[in-house]
Structures are given as C-alpha cells and as structure tokens.
Amino acid sequence: MAKTLAEKVWDDHLVRSASGEPDLLYIDLHLIHEVTSPQAFDGLRLAKRGVRRPDLTLATEDHNVPTLNIDKPIADPVSRLQVDTLRKNCQEFGIRLHSLGDVEQGIVHVVGPQLGLTQPGMTIVCGDSHTSTHGAFGALAFGIGTSEVEHVLATQTLPLSRPKTMAINVEGKLKPGVTSKDIILAIIAKIGTGGGQGYILEYCGSAIRALSMEARMTICNMSIEAGARAGLIAPDETTFAYLKDRPHAPKGEDWQRALAYWSELKSDSDAKFDKEITLDADQLSPFVTWGTNPGQGIPLDGVIPSPQDFTDPEEVSAAERALVYMDLKAGTPMKKIKIDTVFLGSCTNGRIEDLRAAAEIIKGKKVASDIRMMVVPGSARVRLQAEAEGLDKLFLEAGAEWRSAGCSMCLGMNPDQLAPGERSASTSNRNFEGRQGKGGRTHLVSPLVAAATALRGTLSSPADL
C-alpha cells in the first residue's frame, strides 16, 4: 500500500501494534536537558529502574545557562541546582553530557544535527517541543513531556496513537530577502496555531527542495507553532551532503547501506495525505508577527489588522487582547513599530547561516543608538565557527553583544530577559505574552529582518536600508 514518508518511518519503528491499544514505537535517539528531566530520573530511582540505552541518549545544558561569564558558577542558585541535578543524573546513569564550557555544548536541537546524530528515518524525542527541528532530515522527531521522558529512559520506546498526515506544498522560488522563516510564519498564519493538531506535517515542493539543511531546520522547528508535534522533509542530496563526514554519520560500507535506505525515504507518488495545502513561494515577502501567538502574523509591509477583520469570535477576542498586550493600534504600518531589543539566536535561527546572513547586513554599519542587539550562537561550535570567520568582530564593531551558546532570550529562563513593556524583534519561535520576560512584547522575525531592524530601530527589511 502506498505510504507517506511519516507512515514509512512510523512503521519501521513498530515494536508492537495491536488493536485496542496504542502502537509501541522504538526510539532511536533521546535528547535530554536540565529542565524537563530531573523528575524523570527521580521516577526511575523511585521504581528502581535503570536507563535502558544510555548509548542512544545525549544530554546538553541549554535552557537555564547564562550566556556571559560561563566560566563562573551559575549565579542563580535555583538554576544552578537544576544544572547540577542533570550532571549528577548523567553521571549516575552513564549518560553522555555536554556541559557548559564543553566545545559540544549548545541548544540540544543545534547539537544533534551538527554531531551527525540526527539522521534520516530515525525516531527522535526530547522533552522539548522544538524537537520537530530534526524532521528536516526526514526523521520523525517530536517533543514529549516528563512522564514520557521517563518512559523512554526506562524502555527506549513510547506508546503512541498514529497521527494523521498533512502535506504542505510550497512551490515556486523565493524572492531575495525572503527566507525559510518567512515561509513557516506564513504557513502558521494560514492554518493557525491549532491547524496542525493531530497531524504530522510533510513540507514538500520545489521551494522546500531548494533550501539548505539549516533553512529546512528553521521550518520544521516551528511545526509545533502550527499545532503539529512533528514536521518533516524527505531527505535528498542536500541532506546526504550535510551528513557526510559528520562525527556520528555512518562511515565506509555503513554509509552505503544507510544511503540505500535513506534514498527510499519519500512519500510514494500515490500516497494519500489526510489533508493537503499549498503555498506560493513567489508571492511571499518578509513576514512578522504583530500579536501574542505565532499565527498572528502578516507581511512586514502590511498594517496591523483590526479585530473586526476576523470572523471567528475566538479570533476576534484573541486579537483584541493581543493589541492591548502589545500596545498597538489597528491600522498602524508594521514598519512604524519602534523596537528596543533585537535577539538573534535560538534553535530556530541560531545556526551559522543565520549569523552569516545577519552579519552580511550589519557589516560596516552601526546598530541604532537606542537598540540593544544580542547575538547568541546556538552552540559553542557555531560560536567558534563564527569567530573563525570574523563574524563576532562585525557584530561587536556594529555595537551588538556577542554571547555564548544557549536558549537565552528565546524563553527568558536565564538572565537574558526583556524588561516589562520592552519590545523585541526576535528570531526565536514564540511571541506569547511574557515569553521573553514578564511584560515583554515580542515580534517574530527572520535573521535578515532582525539585522535590518537593528540598524534602523524600527521593524525593517534589508530592502529598506
């Protein structure tokens, strides 16, 4: 029977499938971090259970860690305890951990791919909703809660009900200045934050195939913002070239065997998706959010909508609340919005290509005098690579801050936070109320828009410079 890519990966990991119970799926890679794992390890100890496959498990410190003075003990005692707890747990259960200061430390979703641990056709889970990032390789990757983290630690499996599948066809060619971030923000605005609930998304079409691996990761990363636990892209030559010679990629004959399997990983031409939508890449322009959920986005050259523009009463009231929280008036051009802080980083847009793209715009110019720009590489390796290319100097000379790797201001769990009322243009993934600090206001943007905004002080695209 014809199958979609997601169904193929699902079926290849079935440990057990019986009627009247969820499928039992084998998990190829389990990523963990300090925030969602301590209670899972406690659960194991309480039940006198071990970790079944430490050799399929990898831990990093990312959510809580400071991005300045990383050689000093973490100042916040509660954050320090959480990080110390992860260290103790990894030691006790024999799990590989990349701690603050380690060259492989970084945001878990940046580290997995750069080590070559993320490969096509795998099942990958992590106690973090942006695990969908790894779908860019044709892996079935999704976020889980702490109870499920404990389940995977103990059994290397998860009981799950088979989701539906949705194809998102993005055809055509992106205009200059338009990025994969704009594609995914436009998709979420189109289908809404609940549009992907119950589905695995497959991104396909010529515009997707033309993207680099890092650009694909940006798209898959935000699948969860459309309500889908997972989103994936069929692996192709771009994927294989990215993986070749990575530390944990297969070598020699294993590479050939893996390649043979990976090459079959695509949806059959006659496979049926439960739902299909299409987006025209030629029509896209830089996209930004105006509200307090990632679906409240519009083209940057648009004006802030009025609640009356919506028909669904829930959307009307959500828009009314969002405008109050964001302190914005309907009808205002987006480009008139004055920004205080620009954040370039996160598992969405904290990779080397993101930093290069922004640096290219900033080069030789100055960040507007009343703007704070923070540049936070997604991993220590990304930071080192950027420094080898001299990108750190370009940012510093422009007046931006150059930080160490971590989740940072994406979720404001460490000291990198917005002050109440402060407004950011952020390359991260969520514009929820208070996400980047209590009372903070977030506009989600691409790295190109972030850089142009930093120079002009108002939401801008590179074309405005």
Partner 1 sequence: MEKFISHTGSALPLRRSNVDTDQIIPAVYLKRVTRSGFEDGLFAAWRSDPEFVLNKAEYSKASILVAGADFGTGSSREHAVWALQNYGFKVVISSRFADIFRGNSLKAGLLTVILGQSDVEALWSAIEAEPSLEIEVDLETRLVSYKNQAISFDLDDYTRWRLMEGLDDIGLTLRKIDEVENFEEKRAKYKPKTLPVLS
Residues 395-454 that bind partner 1 (CB under 8 A): 411-413, 430, 432-435, 438-439
User: By C-beta, is 47 or 364 nearer to partner 1?
Assistant: 47
* Residues 99-128 interacting with partner 1 (rule: CB under 8 A): 104, 115-117, 119, 122, 127-128
* Residues 79-98 interacting with partner 1 (rule: CB under 8 A): 79, 81-82, 85, 96
* Residues 308-337 interacting with partner 1 (rule: CB under 8 A): 314, 317-318, 321
In the complex, what is the shortest distance from the CB of residue 460 to partner 1, in angstroms, rounded to a whole number? 27
Sheet (strand 140-143) strand order:
96-98, 57-60, 29-32, 123-126, 140-143
Show the tokens assigned to 71. 């050689």
Residue 94 φ/ψ region, left for φ over 0, alpha for ψ in the -120 to 50 degree band, beta for the rest: left
Which listed residue (57, 341, 349, 428) binds partner 1 by CB under 8 A? Answer: 57
Calpha distance 12→25 (Å, rounded): 9
User: By C-beta, is 34 or 353 nearer to partner 1?
Assistant: 34
In the complex, what is the shortest distance from the CB of residue 196 to partner 1, in angstroms, rounded to a whole number? 9
In the complex, what is the shortest distance from the CB of residue 154 to partner 1, in angstroms, rounded to a whole number? 5
In the complex, what is the shortest distance from the CB of residue 203 to partner 1, in angstroms, rounded to a whole number? 18
In the complex, what is the shortest distance from the CB of residue 78 to partner 1, in angstroms, rounded to a whole number? 4
What spatial distance separates the first Cα and last Cα of the chain, rounded to whole Å? 54
Q: What angle separates helix 391-398 from helix 380-388, to the nearest 10 degrees?
A: 80
* DSSP of 139-190: -EEEE--HHHHHHHHHHSEEEEPPPEEEEEEEES-PPTT--HHHHHHHHHHH
According to the binding rule CB under 8 A, does residue 24 interact with partner 1?
A: yes
According to the binding rule CB under 8 A, does residue 38 interact with partner 1?
A: yes
Which listed residue (3, 162, 190, 197) binds partner 1 by CB under 8 A? Answer: 197
Give residues with Cβ within 8 angstroms of 388, minimum separation 6. Answer: none
Which listed residue (6, 23, 62, 64) binds partner 1 by CB under 8 A? Answer: 64
Calpha distance 449→465 (Å, rounded): 11
In the complex, what is the shortest distance from the CB of residue 161 to partner 1, in angstroms, rounded to a whole number? 7
Which listed residue (51, 141, 249, 337) binds partner 1 by CB under 8 A? Answer: 249
Which listed residue (1, 72, 161, 237) binds partner 1 by CB under 8 A? Answer: 161
* Local structure of residue 77 (DSSP, 8 states): H
Which listed residue (2, 68, 261, 276) binds partner 1 by CB under 8 A? Answer: 261
Q: Are 170 and 205 in contact (CB under 8 A)?
A: yes
Radius of gyration of the chain (CA): 21
The answer to whether the Cα torsion of 394, 397, 399, 403 is positive or negative is positive
- Interior CA angle at 267 toward 263 and 271, to 5°? 150
Look at residues 205, 234, 253, 219 and name the one whose alpha carbon lies nearest to residue 121. Answer: 234
Q: Which stretch binds partner 1 (CB under 8 A): 53-61, 354-362, 368-376, 392-400?
A: 53-61
According to the binding rule CB under 8 A, does residue 28 interact with partner 1?
A: yes
User: By C-beta, is 29 or 70 nearer to partner 1?
Assistant: 29
Number of residues assigned to the chain: 465
* Local structure of residue 73 (DSSP, 8 states): P
* DSSP of 330-381: TT-BGGG-B-SEEEE-HHHH-SHHHHHHHHHHHTT----TT-EEEE--SBHH
Count of residues in contact with partner 1, rule CB under 8 A: 90
User: By C-beta, is 76 or 171 nearer to partner 1?
Assistant: 76
User: By C-beta, is 117 or 140 nearer to partner 1?
Assistant: 117
Phi and psi torsions of 25, nearest 5°: -105, 140
User: By C-beta, is 146 or 306 nearer to partner 1?
Assistant: 146
Show the tokens assigned to 298. 């519009």
Q: Are 448 and 179 in contact (CB under 8 A)?
A: yes
In the complex, what is the shortest distance from the CB of residue 117 to partner 1, in angstroms, rounded to a whole number? 5
User: By C-beta, is 320 or 389 nearer to partner 1?
Assistant: 320
In the complex, what is the shortest distance from the CB of residue 122 to partner 1, in angstroms, rounded to a whole number? 7
Any bridge partners for residue 169, and if so which? 204, 278
In the complex, what is the shortest distance from the CB of residue 55 to partner 1, in angstroms, rounded to a whole number? 4
In the complex, what is the shortest distance from the CB of residue 435 to partner 1, in angstroms, rounded to a whole number? 5
According to the binding rule CB under 8 A, does residue 154 interact with partner 1?
A: yes
Give the H or E element holding residue 321: helix 313-326
- Give me the 266-285 binding string for partner 1, x by CB under 8 A, dash otherwise: --------------------
Which listed residue (172, 205, 250, 307) binds partner 1 by CB under 8 A? Answer: 250
User: By C-beta, is 211 or 322 nearer to partner 1?
Assistant: 322
